[in-house]
Chain A
Amino acid sequence: MRSQFSFFRKDPDWHPDAGDLLLYLDGEQPSGKAARIRLHLEACWACRVEAEKVSQTISAFMDYRNRILLPSLPSLENQAGRFEDKLHALAMSTQANRFSWPSMLDRIRSSTKKLLRTPFAVPGMAVALTLVLAITLSYVWSPVVNAQQLLSHSYAVEQANDNNPNVVLHRSLRLEKRRTNDKTVLSRRRIDVWHSGGRGVTARRVYDDAGKLVAGEWSERNGSSAVYERGARTEITTRERIVPAVLDSPEDLWRFDLSARGFEGLVGTSAQAQVDKHGADYIIHYEPEDRSGNNRLLDAALTIRKADLRAVALEVTMRDQGSSGASAEPGTPVVYSIVEASFEQRPAAEVSPLVFEADAELVAAAAPDQNYPTADLQIETTYLLDRVGATLGQEVTITVGSDHKLHVEGVAATELRKEQIIGVLAAVRDNPAVVINIMTVAEALRRERAQPSVVAEIGAQAERASIPVFDELSRYFEAKAVPGSTVDVRTKIQHFSQQVSDDSSQAMCHAWILKRLANTFSPTEISSLSETAHNEYLCMVANHAQEVGQETERLQLQLGPIFFPNANSPGIEGADQSTKPANLAAAIQQLFAAASRNDAAIQSSFSLTTGSAPEGAVKVQEIQNSLFQAEQLAKWVHQTAHLNDCGGDPPRKQAMQ
């Protein structure tokens, strides 16, 4: 320092360079040199200008950073909740590992090292020994891990992993079926599972020994799933049914989730499960109390890794039914094991979306199954019936029976109508997966002779009944009546009520069909339809939505002058924001809800009743907004689903009459 000052004194032409100035401005110069630069700057204009230039560069950078760079970043999402989930899962995991051997040895090692560094090594050693004993005892006396708690903690880890939108989970599993007596492997499969937390979808593929893709399942967050299997039926099901499916047919175990949640679902209750510590793993053993022949599950064991509390293996012993080719003797126990071979978390952006698409080879291999009604076949049949209005009301029902065939059953009013319905089904009539059973009323009566005489009873009641909104209608029609007219007001009310009730029923029928269409076919199924079937589906939706809209509009015109004459149209602004649909399926659900509300209010207000129902008028007044919402939703659905080449006939009312 002295030499520097002496240098400064000796060399009055010395100037700090840019580096010195930056260090000085940043307060990073040693105090001596900082003082020297300060003195220099007071004296030297040139260096002061240089220092100001450095300051200006810093200032410009900070301005750019704060006004351009940082605001250009995507806003940090409010991830605090998700972070807390992860943290909690980690905390649980850490807690569970507290007494593991490696951590205990670490503690002993670090404690011993610290003590040996002290000058009192011998007493230190004594203390260390005491510590070793204490830690060992704490390990021995550590609380027994409870199966329920362990499964619960593991479940929390699974949830955190499954719901992370930024990563895609990829798991590879080995599935084996073995005899219990000689451990002979009867079959072996590889399962590849991809899960996207962001999209909420899981793709599961199973390969045989030769690496050939033999089956796959594509499931969504709502639990719906599509299962494709070579040479077998295409099954649309839900993940909730996986446990009964596995118990019924252990060959379906490839669809099982290797997870704490899956294990709990399988064993029903974990209260009687026992936990064993085995090296780096916990093993949860379960044996059902009922080991009689009625219960196929003999025992189950789930392995959970201590390090991250993830389920990594499952072994299930079940009674074999001898149904599959490679089977043991019927009734003898066989072991199924699923073992995790690999697990990785990949950034979502780096994973191709194709891994979540159903493999074309699998879909194609599964589709030709002639004896099972594919989604395409169901759509086509519904579409054909829809063209003659046979899907309305209860005239014809379409169901997939326990025999896995599509049953088209119904009662037609006349022979002509029966022929019309059967005729329109010509395209699917010869399909072995379709069973048609349409009969006339006369035929149905012959089969079931005793029929209750409901009509006569209703007729008798009508004589002494009235409708809840009779007074309002009466006032309205009397005010409108032309003096001297011979038309009876009561007759007008009857006709009007009948008309309103019919229109509401019609709207309800079409809304009900829309809902049935939306519920019958899952989004996965719809996306896998052929182009023709998809177009037919959309046309049906568009046509029925149009009908709902028209009927609802007619109802508004009929009811408006009587029940809400002075009310303004609610308009778009008046509509409930919640009615703005997110997608077609959501819109259909909302439309059905609105139509149901309207129909319930109208039927209770305009139907004949023998009791007093003064609330009828109130109900019908309440549905003004609901009618408007239904009309708007119907228009939206119609516009969204409508195709230019829909053409064809919309569902006709006369066809169902």
Chain B
Amino acid sequence: MWSKTGLSTESSIAQRSSTLLLTQQPMDLEQKVVRVYEALRTPVYQYLAVAFRDPVEAEDIAQETFLRLYVYWSSGRTIADDRLRSWIFRVAHNLAIDRGRSAKFIRELAPEAYLSAVLQVPDSGRNPEETLLDRERFDAVRNGLALLSEQERRCLHLRAEGFSYREIAGILNITSSSVAEFLRRAMRKMARYQNA
């Protein structure tokens, strides 16, 4: 399930944060930010890109996010290691909202890009029938995603990144029960096509 990302549980998040070695090695602030940037820039970029469908802007916002981290730290404030990841995502998300990209949320992967991506999926020794079934499943998910609202989609992608409901609530500035409701609706809409 979610664990396919390798980031599903609290423990794996904590483990990943600890791999940053932020507190174990003496380093100056710039080095510290660069270290965090190297570790988290890809998931931040991916989240912004899939949620906002603007990869160029996503990359720029991702960089801006880590510069904000530097400013935050340089002012003497601190962030607990196990909260660093959600802090980064929250700032990135807010920056994206500030840049007024929310209107682009609804757009799903363009048909030609989708087709190209499907055709490039490695077959991994699957027979034609299995490949066909895969494509039907992909179509179903894509159709289901197209039905989601912005908030439902954001919750879904953040959950896929391994964040807990509480963390997602912090990132999106909503309550945990709202996160649960958005995810429930998202699953219900997706299930329409999955079980069709």
Contacts and interface: CB of A to CB of B under 8 A. Distances in A.
Given A79-B63, A83-B37, A86-B63, A94 B109 contact: no
A23 B176 CA distance: 11
Contacts of A64: 137-138, 141-142, 145
Interface stretch (B19-27, B39-47, B78-86, B87-95): B39-47
Nearest to B64: A86
A54 B187 contact: yes
Q: Which of A61, A63, A68 has the most CB of B within 10 A?
A: A61
Interface string B132-158: 000001101110110000000000110
B170 interface: no
Contacts of A455: none
A57 B66 contact: no
A87 B30 contact: yes
Contacts of B57: 347
A57 B194 contact: yes
A26 interface: yes
Nearest to B117: A72
Contacts of B97: none
A166 B62 CA distance: 13
Given A88-B30, A91-B70, A61 B141 contact: yes
B174 interface: no
Given A57-B187, A166-B60, A90 B141 contact: no
Contacts of A94: 70-71, 74
B14 interface: no
B4 A83 contact: no
Contacts, number: 142
A64 B134 CA distance: 9
Given A56-B194, A91-B29, A76 B41 contact: yes
B59 A77 contact: yes
Nearest to A103: B75
A58 B187 contact: yes
A167 B29 CA distance: 27
B187 to A, nearest CB: 6
B119 to A, nearest CB: 10
A68 B138 contact: yes
B190 interface: yes
Contact of B70 (A53, A66, A68, A87): A87
Nearest to B45: A76
Interface string A1-39: 000000000000000001100110111100000000000
Contacts of B195: 53
Given A19-B184, A73-B49, A76-B41, A62 B5 contact: yes
A26 B164 CA distance: 8
Interface string B159-196: 11000110000000000100011011001101100110
Contacts of B38: 80
A22 B55 contact: no
A61 B194 CA distance: 10
A66 to B, nearest CB: 7
Contacts of A60: 137, 140-141, 190, 194
Given A62-B160, A68-B138, A57 B109 contact: no
Contacts of B144: 61
Interface residues of A, number: 47
Given A83-B63, A84-B34, A66 B5 contact: yes
Interface in A304-363: 347, 349
Interface residues of B, number: 60
Q: Which of A59, A70, A71 has the most CB of B within 10 A?
A: A70
Contact of B137 (A23, A63, A72): A63
Secondary structure class of chain A's binding surface, majority of residues:
helix
A74 interface: yes
Contacts of A84: 30, 34
A18 B184 contact: yes
Nearest to B195: A53
B56 A166 contact: yes
Interface string B110-128: 0001101110110000000
A20 to B, nearest CB: 9
B187 A87 contact: no
B4 A18 contact: no
Contacts of B106: none
A94 B68 CA distance: 12
A67 interface: yes
Nearest to A55: B1
Contacts of B176: 28
A68 B187 contact: no
B104 to A, nearest CB: 13
A84 B121 CA distance: 34
A69 interface: yes
A278 interface: no
A67 B137 CA distance: 12
A57 B63 contact: no
A13 B99 CA distance: 51
A58 B29 CA distance: 39
B180 A87 contact: no
B83 to A, nearest CB: 18
A467 to B, nearest CB: 63
Nearest 4 A-B pairs (CB), nearest first?
Answer: A64-B141, A19-B184, A72-B117, A62-B4
Interface of A: 18-19, 22-23, 25-28, 53-74, 76-77, 79-80, 82-84, 86-88, 90-91, 94, 166-167, 347, 349
7 contacts: A28-B176, A63-B4, A69-B50, A72-B116, A73-B46, A86-B67, A167-B60
Given A58-B187, A80-B37, 6 more contacts: A22-B180, A53-B195, A62-B160, A73-B55, A87-B70, A88-B30
